[in-house]
């Protein structure tokens, strides 16, 4: 059974309709699996995740999550989303922000749920501190907390490990693996390939809006040194086919 089904989705913006940021992509992601969407900066990862969570709409094609449209409020109750470098209301405390989010989800046992979520992301000690005083790692964890406060069935994470030190990354990875063990379907955008191998069941490599390949990390790495080598080689080959200028040394 598939949780997420993307069929022939393309995206271009009205200001520049000629340029397609996402080009005719199709994906089916199984329920309870962890999917990694990997690609260089500007590949179309964030544009795709934005369409998946209803922040933007496809120009062509369709997206179904649990057979519903991404902006269906019934579906949104079951979704979690952590954007890249999440931005918060700086004047609120971590607790107040989660209280705000909890009320949007109509969560009944607010206090209990907030405490539990803060504990899960190891932010309980900072719950009464203003968000403006949080470090980058704490902000990422708060971003994750607001995404999992509703115990989502499907979780979208946009570069959750970006800009974190090794310790911070290990903490976030631990949380993701914990959610995976609970059966949450997870969609991760990332370009940190070492973590992808560890966390994901399936990955797709995207470059310039096109999906180049989809498969399990181990299958994709076959014939290459590792996933990173596979990633770089595949992207270079595709760019060569397209006649793009290649990066020196690769």
Partner 1 sequence: MKHIITIAKNTLRETIRDRVLLSALFSSIVVILVTLFIGSISLDQSTRIIVNFSITAIYALQIFVAIFIGSMLIYKEIERKTFYLILPKPIHRGAIIIGKCLGLTATTILVTFFSTVVLLLVLFIKGETSYIGPILVSVFYSTLESILLILISLFFSSVTSPIMASVATIAFFFIGHASSIMQRIFMTTESVILREGMRVVYYTFPNLEKFNIRNEVVYGALPSLTITLTTIAYALVYAVFLLFITNAVFKKKDF
- Whether residue 73 contacts residue 84, with contact meaning beta carbons closer than 8 Å, is answered with no
Residue 10 binds partner 1 (CB under 8 A): no
Helices 94-104, 136-148: crossing angle, 10 deg rounding: 20
- Whether residue 236 contacts residue 205, with contact meaning beta carbons closer than 8 Å, is answered with no
Q: How far apart are CA 108 and CA 131, in angstroms?
A: 24
Shortest reach from residue 36's CB to partner 1, in Å? 20
Residue 62 binds partner 1 (CB under 8 A): no
- Whether residue 26 contacts residue 194, with contact meaning beta carbons closer than 8 Å, is answered with no
Strand-pair category, 210-215 with 202-207: antiparallel
Q: Which of 7, 23, 77, 239 binds partner 1 (CB under 8 A)?
A: 77
Residue 114 binds partner 1 (CB under 8 A): no
Binding string, residues 187-226; x marks residues near partner 1 by CB under 8 A: ----------------------------------------
Shortest reach from residue 13's CB to partner 1, in Å? 7
Q: Which is nearer to partner 1, 55 or 234 (CB)?
A: 55
Shortest reach from residue 249's CB to partner 1, in Å? 35
DSSP summary character for residue 7: E
Report which of 165, 227, 185 is spatially closest to residue 81, judged by C-alpha positions.
Answer: 185
Q: What is the contact surface with partner 1 in residues (CB under 8 A)? A: 13, 50, 53-57, 73-74, 76-77, 79, 81, 83, 85-89, 91-92, 100-101, 103-106, 143, 146, 156
């Amino acid at each position: 059974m598939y949780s997420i089904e993307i069929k022939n989705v393309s995206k271009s913006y009205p200001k520049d309709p000629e340029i397609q940021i996402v080009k005719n992509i199709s994906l089916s992601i199984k329920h309870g699996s962890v999917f990694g969407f990997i690609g260089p900066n500007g590949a179309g990862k964030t544009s795709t995740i934005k369409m998946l969570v209803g922040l933007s709409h496809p120009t062509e094609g369709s997206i179904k999550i649990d057979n519903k449209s991404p902006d269906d409020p019934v579906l949104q109750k079951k979704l979690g989303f952590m954007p890249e470098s999440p931005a918060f209301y700086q004047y609120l405390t971590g607790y107040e922000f989660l209280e705000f989010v909890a009320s949007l989800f109509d969560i009944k046992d607010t206090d209990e749920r907030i405490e539990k979520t803060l504990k899960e992301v190891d932010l309980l000690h900072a719950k009464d501190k203003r968000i403006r005083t949080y470090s980058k790692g704490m902000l990422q964890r708060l971003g994750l907390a607001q995404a999992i406060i509703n115990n989502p069935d499907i979780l979208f994470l946009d570069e959750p490990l970006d800009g974190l030190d090794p310790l911070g990354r290990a903490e976030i990875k631990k949380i993701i693996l914990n959610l995976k063990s609970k059966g949450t379907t997870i969609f991760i955008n990332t370009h940190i390939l070492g973590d992808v191998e560890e966390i994901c069941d399936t990955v797709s490599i995207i470059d310039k809006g096109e999906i180049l390949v989809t498969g399990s990390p181990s299958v994709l790495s076959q014939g290459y040194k590792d996933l990173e080598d596979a990633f770089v080689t595949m992207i270079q080959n595709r760019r060569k086919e397209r006649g793009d200028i290649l990066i020196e040394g690769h």
